[in-house]
Each structure stands twice: as structure tokens, then as C-alpha cells.
């Protein structure tokens, strides 16, 4: 695949750069660059800015408000947003449930839900994982019993990212417990303000509130909020997971993180007294992950090009998911190593909590590096663990 941009693509890249330079709030960009959490308001404000420009959903078909960009243009947009430290668009609505709605929902459901996703008005979260039903997702137990024109939902979801902000959740629920486990699942869209829903925070090691438990206690959901046919939810779930695994590759963000790693290594002293970047061993580790990232980028471009041709992501998405998550982990690990003793502690944003004996003059922009390292430990688990992805590859590609 030719990775050189054509003159027209370079013009497009310049247009994106100009937009980012004039429309992205500098304070928000600093927070993104420093791996600091963004508020709901900051994320929604950026989505509204993109929506007003007509760029609210780069990968959507034009008929639903998408840009009509090809795979290379979408790649350029994602890369430039990462370079400028723009907030990532939330995947749950735009890149996960929206493709399912566009492919499987009724026209009425499309008209009802898609506008709020692209405008940023609605915030979606994902109701898939349960205690004991993570990688073995089909073993989920949250039940939905039909009662006239409604389902009565009971159960628990866990690791629900940013559910504290969400006003909608897309859920896998069990509507038939008496058949093979993959055959008794339905796909529901549930208003988070419905009586009976409780969101409980899960506080992580770095003190952040990113994930939650979501409890359903006799929650009544209209049958009209079911996507597709009853008991066919596993089909829709697999389609969604293909898109999620493609998104996890995060090539643009990893390229930005790699640039940051090189800067840190250039600023930090090595064992021989020179720059850490000049240390042959450390430089070799950076070169290795950079080559892996270049290979991932080419593979990702091939896959998103196929997706643009209306082909659902296949087992190739599992390859992207494995390598993309491993590369993210490797870069964050190298950042922590490059920071030396400063990489051993999670420092407060105001620089007030430094380990004994370390200088408070250390740049605060690196204060969240350790938190990012720990947070990236999850990337080889969510969206289907690496073991699950390898099983998909063996079955679908190798025929094992």
C-alpha cells in the first residue's frame, strides 16, 4: 500500500491542521497532552465543534450526516487530531452503537437515535461485560422478560466506562435462557434515566473514576428500543465488536505518544552521562516499537479501506486489536522507564506529591505518566482479551 499522501491529500491535511489550530481550545489540548481526565462538558464541546464544521462523524455514510471521506482522509483526520492533542471522539456512540443502528435498526430508530449521537447531545455507554462474563461474553446473565410492549430488565453490568455521564446505554440481555447461550441474547437501547437503574463508581489505582457498575432492578424498557429481532443480539454484538477492535488500534494516538517518548528520552540523561535517546539499548527499543507501529498503520489502512467498501470488519480487526493494544502498553512502559525515579510514582497535577528526595522542579506535564502506564494494562483485555483474539484468528484465518 502506498503511504505517501497525494497533493490533494496534503491539501486536506493542511485544512484539518488549520481547523485544529483555530478551533481547538489550548487548555483542553494541554490536558489531553498531559493525560489528564477531561470533563463531560469539555468532551461534548469538542463534539459540537466538529459537528458544526460537518465533521462530527468522519466514518459515517453521508446519508446519516457523515463526511464522505475515504479511508486515507479519515486516517489523516485521526492522525492530525492526535498530533494537535484534540480530545478523542467517544467511540461508544459514534463508532460502536451507531454502525449497528445504521445496519440493523428500523428507519424510525435511525431517525430517533442517530442525530443525538452525531451532535454530541446524547452520551452512550456500553452494557456488555458482567461479573464472570467478560471474555466469555455470551455467558451473560442480565435478563429481559417480555411483559406486553415492554421488557423488564434485571441484572448487573460492570467496567462500564464513563457511565456516570451517559444518558443512554446499549445492552446485551438474555431473553431466552433455554437455548444455546449465543442464541438467547437481544440488543436493547436503554434510557439511563429509567427508574431502577443505579450507577456505582469503581475507583481505580490512580484515583480516577473512569469505570462503573450499572445495576438494573425491574427496569422497564419499551420493546420499540430493541434493535433487530429478539434473540438475535449476538449477531449485532459481533458486528459491533469488529468496529470496537478496529478503533482500539489507535494508530494516531500511538504516533503522538511515540513522539512524546522521544522527547522525554532526548531530555533525560542516560547511564553514560549523555542523553537517554543516545543509549544504544534504549534507542533500539524505541526503534522496534516504531517499526511495529508503522506495520500496524499499513494494516489499519487496509482494513478501514475495506470497511469503507461496506464490508464488516473481519478477523483482521483482531490482529489490529492485539498489536495496537500491545504497542500502547510498550510505549507507556518506555515512558515510565525514561522518566527514571519520577516514573515510579503517580504525581499530583499541581506537583505537590513528589517522592522523598526528588525535585519539585520536575515538569508537571509528566505527572500522569504512571497513571497512563497502569491504565494501559487494560488494553489487552477490553474489547476481547488477546487470548480471545488469537482464538478468532486461528479459527477464521488458519482454520484451526
DSSP code per residue over 173-234 = EES-TTS-GGGSEEEEEEETTSTTEEEEEEE-TTS-EEEEEEEEEEEEEEGGGEESSTTBHH
Contact indicator for 76, 67 with CB cutoff of 8 Å: no
All residue ranges of the chain with pLDDT < 70 are 1-3, 243-248, 272, 304-314, 343-364
Neighbours of 240 (CB within 10 A): 26
Assigned fold of 249-347+361-396: Butyryl-CoA Dehydrogenase, subunit A; domain 3 (1.20.140)
Cell numbers for 145, please give them: 422478560
Q: What share of the chain is helix, strand, coil (3-state, %, to 5)?
A: 50, 15, 35
The pLDDT score that the predictor gives to residue 351 is: 44
Cα separation, 94 vs 89, whole angstroms: 8
Question: Which uninterrupted H or E stretch holds 153?
Answer: strand 150-157
Cα dist from 207 to 203, 204, 285, whole Å: 6, 5, 30
First to last CA, the chain: 29
Domain spans, the chain = 7-89, 124-232, 249-347+361-396
The pLDDT score that the predictor gives to residue 53 is: 97
Cα separation, 394 vs 400, whole angstroms: 5
Query: CB under 8 Å, gap of 24 or more: what pairs does 256-263 form?
Result: 256/82, 256/83, 256/85, 257/328, 257/331, 257/332, 257/335, 258/286, 258/289, 258/290, 258/293, 258/331, 260/33, 260/335, 261/286, 261/331, 261/334, 261/335, 261/338, 262/286
pTM of the model: 0.87
Choose which CATH entry (2.40.110.10, 1.10.1200.10, 1.10.1750.10, 3.40.190.10) describes domain 124-232.
Answer: 2.40.110.10
Contact indicator for 238, 384 with CB cutoff of 8 Å: no
Cα separation, 129 vs 127, whole angstroms: 6
The pLDDT score that the predictor gives to residue 103 is: 95
The pLDDT score that the predictor gives to residue 99 is: 94
Phi, psi of 349 (to 5 degrees): -60, -30
Cα separation, 257 vs 87, whole angstroms: 14
Cα separation, 29 vs 42, whole angstroms: 10
The pLDDT score that the predictor gives to residue 350 is: 45
> Counting Cβ atoms within 10 Å, is residue 339 exposed (0-12), middle (13-18) or buried (19+)?
buried
| Domain spanning 7-89: CATH superfamily | Acyl-CoA dehydrogenase/oxidase, N-terminal domain (1.10.540.10)
Amino acid at each position: 500500500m502506498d503511504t505517501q499522501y497525494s497533493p490533494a491529500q496534503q491539501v486536506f491535511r493542511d485544512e484539518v491542521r488549520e481547523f485544529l489550530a483555530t478551533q481547538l481550545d489550548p487548555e483542553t489540548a494541554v490536558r489531553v497532552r498531559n493525560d489528564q481526565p477531561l470533563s463531560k462538558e469539555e468532551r461534548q464541546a469538542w463534539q459540537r465543534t466538529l459537528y458544526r464544521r460537518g465533521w462530527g462523524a468522519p466514518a459515517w455514510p453521508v446519508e446519516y450526516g457523515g463526511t464522505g471521506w475515504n479511508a486515507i482522509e479519515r486516517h489523516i483526520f485521526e492522525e492530525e487530531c492526535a498530533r494537535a492533542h484534540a480530545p478523542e471522539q467517544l467511540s461508544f456512540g459514534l463508532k460502536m452503537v451507531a454502525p449497528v443502528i445504521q445496519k440493523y435498526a428500523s428507519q424510525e430508530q435511525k431517525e430517533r437515535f442517530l442525530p443525538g449521537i452525531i451532535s454530541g447531545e446524547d452520551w452512550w455507554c456500553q452494557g456488555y461485560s458482567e461479573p464472570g462474563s467478560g471474555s466469555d461474553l455470551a455467558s451473560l446473565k442480565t435478563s429481559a422478560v417480555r411483559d406486553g410492549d415492554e421488557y423488564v430488565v434485571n441484572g448487573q453490568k460492570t467496567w462500564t466506562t464513563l457511565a456516570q455521564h451517559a444518558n443512554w446505554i446499549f445492552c446485551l440481555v438474555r431473553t431466552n435462557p433455554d437455548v444455546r447461550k449465543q442464541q438467547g441474547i437481544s440488543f436493547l437501547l436503554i434510557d439511563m434515566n429509567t427508574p431502577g437503574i443505579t450507577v456505582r463508581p469503581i475507583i481505580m489505582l490512580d484515583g480516577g473514576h473512569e469505570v462503573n457498575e450499572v445495576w438494573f432492578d425491574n427496569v422497564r424498557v419499551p420493546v420499540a428500543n430493541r434493535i433487530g429481532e429478539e434473540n438475535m443480539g449476538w449477531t449485532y454484538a459481533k458486528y459491533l465488536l469488529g468496529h470496537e477492535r478496529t478503533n482500539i488500534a489507535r494508530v494516531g494516538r500511538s504516533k503522538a505518544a511515540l513522539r512524546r517518548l522521544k522527547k522525554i528520552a532526548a531530555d533525560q540523561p542516560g547511564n553514560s552521562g549523555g542523553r537517554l535517546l543516545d543509549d544504544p539499548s534504549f534507542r533500539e527499543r524505541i526503534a522496534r516499537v516504531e517499526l511495529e507501529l508503522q506495520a500496524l498503520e499499513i494494516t489499519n489502512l487496509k482494513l478501514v479501506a475495506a470497511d469503507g467498501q461496506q464490508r464488516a470488519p473481519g478477523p483482521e480487526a483482531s490482529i489490529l486489536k492485539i498489536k495496537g493494544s500491545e504497542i500502547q502498553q510498550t510505549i507507556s512502559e518506555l515512558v515510565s522507564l525514561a522518566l527514571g525515579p519520577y516514573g515510579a510514582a503517580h504525581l499530583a497535577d499541581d506537583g505537590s506529591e513528589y517522592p522523598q528526595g526528588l525535585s519539585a522542579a520536575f515538569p508537571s506535564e509528566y505527572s500522569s505518566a504512571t497513571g497512563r502506564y497502569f491504565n494501559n494494562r487494560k488494553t489487552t483485555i477490553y474489547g476481547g482479551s488477546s487470548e480471545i483474539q488469537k482464538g478468532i484468528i486461528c479459527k477464521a484465518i488458519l482454520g484451526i
